[in-house]
Amino acid sequence: MKKEILIGFGVGLIATVFGLVFAIQIFGKSDDWGEVMQRAITSDSLTKLMSIGALLNLGAFFLFLKKNQDKRAQGVLIATILVFIATMVIKLFY
């Protein structure tokens, strides 16, 4: 049972990373990811990119629910909450 939650958690984190990369490709004004990330950090838009990146978790969550894999969906939800907490910490303290 815990294995299923960990699989969902991993899927949630991977989906967030892919979503972040996708958001950087769309909204970044350069081909250099380091430059885009540095500009996002200095202009306080990193949290916005992280939030857009987490949108892919929505698809994974509902896909797992549709397949009756509730524990995996729970893992995706935990990953999404972790991304939310990280986003809020960055937003409040940096």
Looking at residue 63, its pLDDT comes to 96
- The pLDDT tens digits along the chain (94 residues) read 899 999 999 999 999 999 988 888 888 777 777 888 888 888 888 889 889 989 999 999 999 999 999 999 999 999 999 999 999 998 898 7
pTM: 0.88
Looking at residue 76, its pLDDT comes to 97
Spatial distance between the Cα atoms of 59 and 18, rounded to a whole number of angstroms: 13
Could you give the number of structural domains in the chain? 1
Q: What are the structure tokens assigned to 18, written together?
A: 């892919």
Domain hosting 14: range is 2-93
Looking at residue 15, its pLDDT comes to 95
Closest listed residue to residue 58, CA positions, set 12, 1, 6: 12
Closest listed residue to residue 10, CA positions, set 71, 68, 51: 71
Cα→Cα distances 20→25, 33, 92, Å = 9, 11, 20
Rg, Å, the chain Cα set: 14
Looking at residue 17, its pLDDT comes to 93
CB burial class (10 A; 0-12, 13-18, 19+) of residue 56? Answer: buried
Looking at residue 93, its pLDDT comes to 86
